[in-house]
Amino acid sequence: MKECTGVGEMSEMGRLVLLGAPLGNPADASARFREVLATADVVAAEDTRRLTRLARDLDVTVPGRIVSYFEGNEERRTPELVEVLAAGYTIALVTDGGMPSVSDPGYRLVRAAIDAGFPVTAAPGPSAVTTALALSGLPCDRFCFEGFLPRTPAGRRSRLRALATEERTLVLFEAPHRIAGALADLAAAFGPDRPAALCRELTKTYEEVVRRPLGELAEWAAAGEPRGEITLVVAGAPPVPAARPDDDTLRAAVAEREAAGLSRRDAITEVATAYGLRRREVYTIVHT
């Protein structure tokens, strides 16, 4: 079976291309995004009207067939699209903003295409997750994405209790009508002083990033429901300090390092660092 010869060209093997769509500002669309949109045989869009409007803003003509692909019909439509791939056509998958599959439709089709042996690639683009993370001013070296919290208050509180000791920065999506309740529950579970940033309408005209502790953010949201698409970034929990060992254990640790060839001074320094203690404290214990 011959491999697909190029996006938009029919071959014996179809191909699925995931398009990273602008979050709000059409100027963020890449040249490759435009190219794939203009050459794909089929464009599966979360909202066909929004796609048409975006194509118009980008001055791109979409010659391929446009079909809807959203949460309500993806289970039914996925087999149909796999048949399109089997016929040798290229499908472009685009959501209302950001990368498909990231808390948006797409995972089901990606998995089905992979399982059926069809190539899956991407024209990477904007992501609300990484954009909000970078703008938050919170540590970005390690983070985890939790998507949308459970919709019911009980489910949400249960999830937050499980996340309360997570040391990585958390990135969450939340709907405007639930954000005040979510922030109140976050402040209760994580403590009101935990740093956070609420990012609203990223890249759009009314973009806003509010950086405050969770308790203050909860009060701010309760005073007036924030509008638009919201990404919430929350600092991770502080590391839990290791339990202080007893004096005999500290003496043994120093002696072990001395036996391995360290000077007493260096052994004491190493043990103090390992247990988060002051060097003078360990020195006093060893010489008592």
pLDDT digits (tens, 9 = 90+) for 148-164: 999 999 999 999 999 99
Sign of CA dihedral 21, 24, 30, 34: positive
pLDDT digits (tens, 9 = 90+) for 227-271: 999 999 999 998 776 678 889 999 999 999 999 899 999 999 988
CATH superfamily of 129-234: Tetrapyrrole methylase, C-terminal domain (3.30.950.10)
Return the pLDDT at 5: 35
Using CA atoms, how far apart are residues 110 and 101, in angstroms rounded to an integer?
8
CA-CA-CA-CA torsion sign (99, 100, 105, 108) = negative
**CA distances in angstroms from 194 to 121, 211, 212, 238, 286, listed in the order given:** 39, 11, 9, 9, 38
pLDDT greater than 60 at residue 10: no
Which pLDDT value is given to residue 288? 84
Is pLDDT above 70 for 3? no
Instruction: Specify the pLDDT at position 241.
Output: 65
pLDDT tens for residues 60-70? 999 999 999 99
> What is the homologous superfamily of the domain 15-126 according to CATH?
Tetrapyrrole methylase, N-terminal domain (3.40.1010.10)
**194 or 10, greater pLDDT:** 194
The number of helix segments (H) and strand segments (E) in the chain equals 11, 10
Q: What is the pTM of this model?
A: 0.78
pLDDT exceeds cutoff 60 at 125:
yes
- What are the two backbone dihedrals, phi and then psi, of residue 25, each rounded to the nearest 5 degrees? -95, 110
**Residue-averaged pLDDT of the chain:** 92
Q: Domain-by-domain residue ranges, the chain?
A: 15-126, 129-234, 247-286
Both tokens assigned to 214: 């969770």
- pLDDT given for residue 175 in this prediction: 94
